[in-house]
Structure 1
Amino acid sequence: MSADIIDIDVCGLEPPEPLERVLDALGRLQPGQRLRVLIPREPIPLYGILQRNGYQHETKSREDYLYEVLIWQ
C-alpha cells in the first residue's frame, strides 16, 4: 500500500453508512493523498457529490463483483 493512497472497505455496511464513511475519509485527506474505496455496488449517488465538491474519480469493476473507486482532488 502506498502512503499516498488511503484504503477503506465499506462492504457489509448498510446505507447510508458507506457514503458517510467515504465523506468522512475525504474530509481527512491531506494534499496529494487519494482515497480508494472498496464497495459492493456502484456508488452512483457519490459521483454527483464528488463532482460538486471538485473531486475526480475512477471506478473499476473487479472480478469478485466488487467496485473499487479511486478518488482524488
Structure 2
Amino acid sequence: MLVIDNRGLEPPQPMMRTLKALEKMDEGEKLSIINDRRPMFLYEELNDLGYLHETEPQEDGSFKITITKTGD
C-alpha cells in the first residue's frame, strides 16, 4: 500500500497530491495519506468518486486516511 505524508503542506497541496496518486492506481488498491488536519474537501471529492475511506486520528494530532479505489 502506498503511503503519502502530506504533513506540513498547505491546502490545496495535500488534496492535489492525493488525487494525482489515486489516478495512477488500479481498482481495489489502497492509498494511505497522513494529513495535519481532517481533509473535509477531499472527503467530498472521494464520496463523489465513490471511493471508500476511513480516518484514524493519530497520537501526534495528525490524521491517517486510508482510501480504497473503487470502480470508476
Q: TM-score, normalised by structure 1?
A: 0.89
Give the structure 1 partner of residue 13 of structure 2: 17
**Superposition map of 1:53-72 within 5 A:** 53-72=49-68
Give the length in aligned residue pairs. Answer: 69
4+ long deviations beyond 6 Å: none
Unaligned residue ranges in structure 2 (runs of 5+): none
CA RMSD of aligned residues (A): 0.9
Supply the distance in 2 between the matched residues of 1:58 and 1:48 (Cα, whole angstroms).
13
Residue of structure 2 in register with 1:7 after alignment: 3
Which letter maps to 1:63? E
Distance 2:29 2:5 in 1: 17
Name the amino acid aligned to 1:25. Answer: A
Segments of 5+ residues of structure 1 without an aligned counterpart are: none
> Secondary structure of the equivalent of 2:66?
strand
2:29 is matched with: 33
TM-score scaled to structure 2, two decimals?
A: 0.90
Aligned sequence identity (%): 39
Q: CA offset at residue 15 of structure 1?
A: 1.1
Question: What does residue 46 of structure 1 align with?
Answer: 42
